[in-house]
Structure 1
Amino acid sequence: MLPDLHVHTARCGHAQGVLEDYLACARRLGLAYLGFADHLPLYWLPPEERDRGLAMPEEELPGYVEEVLSLKGRVGGVAVALGIEADYIPGFEERLRKLLSKHPFDYVLGAVHFVDGWGFDNPACLEGYAAWRVDDLYARYFELVLQAVRSGLFDVLAHPDLVKKFGYRPGTDVRGLYEEVAGAMAGASVCVEVNTAGLRVPAQEIYPSLEFLKACRRHGVPAAVGSDAHHPGHVAWAWPLAREWLLAAGYRRVVFFEERKPRFLEIT
């Protein structure tokens, strides 16, 4: 079964369940590989401004790392990996690099959740869409995605077209943006994440779109798979559809990681 590289826990403040709950689900489903990738603390903000409902406090990060490491190796047939999901914020690259270097992550998911300080994927911030033309928002979002890819900080680009989460779609053809990002990913050795969480939100589509994923395949970008689980029942969410998406784009294998080194698994 496809490995799941994107699983959160209650530590992030907006998910349910502890590590063992997610691992138990992975065992029942027959997953061979489960990667925990909880949200990195909001490192770019002063401690007093960090929202506990969006990510763990920085003092909890060592505990998260220790918990996952305690499960590493094959536990009940499941290989457990230590990942992290880190936000890309322009101007704070060195602070992020320093924080990541303190811990032995197997992989780092890079994500753009904020556009110029606005948490566009946060349901509590939906009013922010009124300030944007959708086409302009897409252009700015992908500008930040390109910066994230080229930063050298990330192994995988998580939910690459997250900007579609609430169903806002551009009126112009964005395939050129897909090609540009895919080319940059190939050049920076950054993998693309096929993320099924898009099926659980108004977008009603896997991240990234099939056109975007096909662009990644044309450029030789490896693909990882993640459920973005925020509840144990989300582990390997819609895996048959993820498999179909990958095959439709031309992928025949997916990537997982050990100590920041990619490994590959054939899609069966």
Structure 2
Amino acid sequence: MPADYHTHTPLCRHAEGAPEAYIDAAIAAGLTEYGVSDHAPARPEPFDDWRMSEAELPDYLEWIDRARQHAGDRIPVRAGLECDWLPGCEEWIADLATRHEWDYLIGSVHYLDDWDFDNPKWIGRWADEDLEVAWTRYWRTYAAMAASGLFDILGHPDLIKKFSPGPSGDLDRFHEPAIDAIAASGCAIELNTAGRHKPCTEAYPSPRFLELAREAGIPLVISSDAHTPAEVARDFPAAVEIAKAAGYTETLLFERRKRSVEAL
């Protein structure tokens, strides 16, 4: 199975499980590599209730060290962060990039202004939102994140669909400008299987977006977004088939922010 680089730890306050249990699950799944990429701190603190604090970064690195010790030579364990793209965050992300010899950084959009739109806490707000406006804002934000050049992987591209269907009509009008920005950046995207277990019942991104990404030459990783050991590599066989159907024949591996290619 491909590497699984998007996984979490209890430090994000909505995941559970010891590092040893995650490693055991990764090995049982036959993963090429296992990566830890919990929600990075954000400023000003306290920012929200679903990420580690800046003071907990040493605890995070200790968690990764425990995972590596348990893995031994059975599976490579990579160190990453999932960083939120927020207004004015560039300097902070650049600072975080120096805090450790990371293998990769994932950039994600979870916020539109002060609304963490994928948080079940605010699911009722969708009833009052203009979907055309929300999707326009989301995809413009996603394109700006790609253009920043700060990240190696861009997370769950169409997360905006999690709790609510998209606007009517051809969604390529949202996807194509974002695809152009991602392709120009050289970033990889992830095929994130967590969406299959959310109200949208579909991996992030949609097959159509994935097809456009492949046509634009955008590289791919496959991720579970695991928040428990049982979710590591969840639905990876299906994800491999989805990727192949879109025309992908390979995924990427990362070490110290350098990439290599692995055949699907």
- The normalised TM-score by structure 1 is 0.94
2: CA distance, partners of 1:183 / 1:262: 21
2: CA distance, partners of 1:261 / 1:243: 23
Gaps of 5+ in 2: none
Query: What are the Cα deviations for residues 67-109 of structure 1, in whole angstroms up to 9, with x where unaligned?
Result: 3145449635211100110000022211221122222110001
2: CA distance, partners of 1:29 / 1:156: 22
Partner-residue secondary structure (3-state), 2:242: helix
Query: What are the Cα deviations for residues 22-70 of structure 1, in whole angstroms up to 9, with x where unaligned?
Result: 10111112212001111101x232x2x333x300111111221233145
Matched residue, 2:135:
138
Does residue 184 of structure 2 align to residue 187 of structure 1?
yes
Letter in 1 for 2:20: E
Counterpart contact for 1:227–1:237, Cα < 8 Å: yes
1: CA distance, partners of 2:188 / 2:81: 15
Alignment of 1:103-114 (within 5 A): 103-114=100-111
Moved over 6 A (4+): none
Query: What are the Cα deviations for residues 223-257 of structure 1, in whole angstroms up to 9, with x where unaligned?
Result: 01110000100000001110111001100000120
Counterpart contact for 1:135–1:172, Cα < 8 Å: no
Alignment of 1:47-86 (within 5 A): 47=45, 49-51=46-48, 53-69=49-65, 71-72=67-68, 75-86=72-83
Counterpart contact for 1:11–1:56, Cα < 8 Å: yes
Matched residue, 1:14:
14
What is the number of residues matched between the two proteins? 263
Counterpart contact for 1:118–1:128, Cα < 8 Å: no
Letter in 1 for 2:248: Y
1: CA distance, partners of 2:127 / 2:27: 44
Letter in 2 for 1:18: A
Q: CA deviation at 1:260?
A: 0.4
2: CA distance, partners of 1:70 / 1:123: 31
Q: Is the alpha carbon distance of 1:240 and 1:246 closer, same or farther for their aligned partners in structure 2, counting shifts above 3 Å?
A: same
Alignment of 1:112-131 (within 5 A): 112-131=109-128
- The normalised TM-score by structure 2 is 0.95
Counterpart contact for 1:44–1:89, Cα < 8 Å: no
1: CA distance, partners of 2:165 / 2:57: 34
Q: Which moved more, 1:167-176 or 1:228-237?
A: 167-176
Partner-residue secondary structure (3-state), 1:26: helix
Q: CA deviation at 1:162?
A: 0.1
Partner-residue secondary structure (3-state), 2:76: strand
Letter in 1 for 2:25: C
2: CA distance, partners of 1:56 / 1:101: 17
Query: What are the Cα deviations for residues 178-222 of structure 1, in whole angstroms up to 9, with x where unaligned?
Result: 222122111111101000000110000010001101111011010
Counterpart contact for 2:4–2:34, Cα < 8 Å: yes
Counterpart contact for 1:5–1:36, Cα < 8 Å: yes
Partner-residue secondary structure (3-state), 1:7: coil
Letter in 2 for 1:75: G
CA-atom RMSD, angstroms? Answer: 1.5
> Identity of paired residues, percent?
38
Q: CA deviation at 1:264?
A: 1.1
Matched residue, 1:3:
3
2: CA distance, partners of 1:149 / 1:72: 30
Matched residue, 1:257:
254
Gaps of 5+ in 1: none
1: CA distance, partners of 2:16 / 2:242: 28
2: CA distance, partners of 1:105 / 1:26: 20
Counterpart contact for 1:6–1:37, Cα < 8 Å: yes
